[in-house]
Amino acid sequence: MTSEVVGRAVADAHRREWAAVLAATVRVTRDLDLAEECVQDAYAAALEAWRRDGVPSRPGAWLTTAARHNALDAVRQARTQQAKLHLLLEPPALPAVADDRLRLVFLCCHPALAREAQVALTLRLVCGVPTPDVAQAFLVPEATMAARITRAKKKIAASRIPFRMPAPGEFPARLDAVLTVIHLLFTAGHTAPAGPALTRDDLAERALDLARMLGALLPREREVSGLLALLLANHARRATRTAIDGRLLRLEEQDRAAWDRKAIAEADELVVRALRGGDPGRFALQAAIAALHAVAPTYDETDWPQILVLYDELLRRWPSPVVALNRAVAVAMVRGPAAGLAEIEALEDDPRLAGYRYLPAAKADLLRRLGRPAEAAAAYERAIALTTNEAERMYLLGRFAETKPEADSDERRVRRNLSDERAARRIRTR
């Protein structure tokens, strides 16, 4: 089997199976660092073994078995065989993969860890995101993030935090962190922080799997229903968010007939369940907003007044500057772009939004609608400078070029340079 085929198979297994393999190995070793090393060695071994023997029919099972064998060898070499042998002989014939992944999330979200450490550890362990990429997501140096993750692992080891599902009485202390982490995972997949593609479907689908597992574990928790509804309503649009050439399509440009109606119907039922029985939580409110977008027959027929009411309530319960920015867009749709622009300009002094690309992007859009192209172009330039996702960046460059036709867009600059080069070549060959 060729190296290229095997490389693709291992990369695919890394995206799909990493969390399950690691979780099954942690259940054997009770040691995060040891488990991670054993899993990494298993993936490295797969490159050679699969090239020689072919890709197995169940790559995840192959990797889990290899990682378990690595764990046994590591423990023996550490001369702790007698102390841990009874643990190593206990694994069941078939690993409880789904539960193990959720256990891993609850372990990462232990209240002994700070929220940033919880999220970073989940990205690293549950999603297998390399430490440099986690560092980029948090806008910190790689060494800082590596130290942060190492400290979190040591704290788990020092505190002897067991690898198990919390008892019912322990859920309240961890549930909000677990919901937040799963939502952040989905967000990172719904719109990738960086890279050429708009989305990372593997991350979004992993977050959906975790939300479903959590829903099965805690069916009466309204915020769990709200989170699953929010993820489903947004993921239902995934096939229409980009054109065939990868170009980003705005909500009003998307083919609503191609949205996943089954997922939207499920989200709608979950929203009703999440809103029933008292004050709604933040995920229930966000899900209700997403559901209104999903059920609107057209963009123009979206129930913007109701969305604004929901944003008012969401901002009251969860005073986040990002929620305030999203609310400003709803204000613009209900009361006009000038009212929305005033709301956005009031947020510009908030340091928490200093590097948030969607603030200048939203401001640029409203300035464009108000017929102020020069100011819109300046705002688009700021948004472009903050954007590291190539699909979003190309979209903003297009908007910038439309707003300021005389501007020297990247495409025009490239074309002009090519033309100059051809002209120079013709002169040299005469």
3-class DSSP state for residue 254?
coil
* Each residue's pLDDT tens digit, 313-346: 999 999 999 999 999 999 999 999 999 999 999 9
3-class DSSP state for residue 195?
strand
Tokens coding 199 = 């989305």
- Side-chain half-sphere CA neighbours of 302 within 13 A: 18
3-state helix/strand/coil string of 250-302: CHHHCCHHHCCHHHHHHHHHHHHHHHCCCCCCHHHHHHHHHHHHHHCCCCCCC
CA distance 190 to 198: 8
Residue 23 pLDDT level (bands cut at 50, 70, 90):
confident
Widest Cα–Cα separation across the chain: 85
- Give this prediction's pTM: 0.78
3-class DSSP state for residue 242?
strand
Name which of 107, 69, 102 is nearest 88 in CA terms. 69
Residue 373 pLDDT level (bands cut at 50, 70, 90):
very high
Indicate whether 387 pLDDT > 50.
yes
**What is the residue-wise DSSP string for 78-114?**
TT-HHHHHHHHT---SS--HHHHHHHHHHHHT-TTS-
Q: Tell me if 289 sits within 8 A of 310, measured CB to CB.
A: yes
Rg of the chain (C-alpha set): 25
Which residues does residue 389 pair with via DSSP β-bridges, in sequence order?
A: 195
Tokens coding 230 = 């929010």
CA distance 410 to 246: 18
CA distance 311 to 323: 7
The residue with greater pLDDT, 135 or 347, is 347
CA distance 408 to 414: 10
How many CB atoms lie under 10 A from the CB of residue 247?
13
Residue 413 pLDDT level (bands cut at 50, 70, 90):
low
CA distance 85 to 76: 9
Number of H helices, E strands in the chain: 20, 0
CA distance 48 to 44: 7
What is the four-CA torsion angle of 226, 17, 190, 297, rounded to 10 degrees?
A: -60
Residue 78 pLDDT level (bands cut at 50, 70, 90):
low
* Each residue's pLDDT tens digit, 121-150: 888 888 777 787 777 666 678 888 888 888
CA distance 42 to 63: 6
CA distance 402 to 412: 13
CA distance 159 to 35: 18
Tokens coding 416 = 């002009």
In angstroms, what CA-CA distances link 316 with 222, 287, 360, 388?
A: 19, 16, 24, 32
Q: Which fold has domain 3-82?
A: Rna Polymerase Sigma Factor; Chain: A (1.10.1740)
Residue with tokens 């479907």: 201
Q: First vs last Cα of the chain: how many Å apart? A: 52
Q: Tell me if 48 sits within 8 A of 55, measured CB to CB.
A: no
* Each residue's pLDDT tens digit, 97-128: 457 788 888 888 888 888 888 888 888 888 77
Helix (H) or strand (E) holding 330: helix 321-335
Where do the structural domains in the chain lie, given as residue ranges?
A: 3-82
Helix (H) or strand (E) holding 177: helix 171-190
Per-residue model confidence (pLDDT) at position 163: 74
Indicate whether 80 pLDDT > 70.
no
Indicate whether 58 pLDDT > 80.
yes
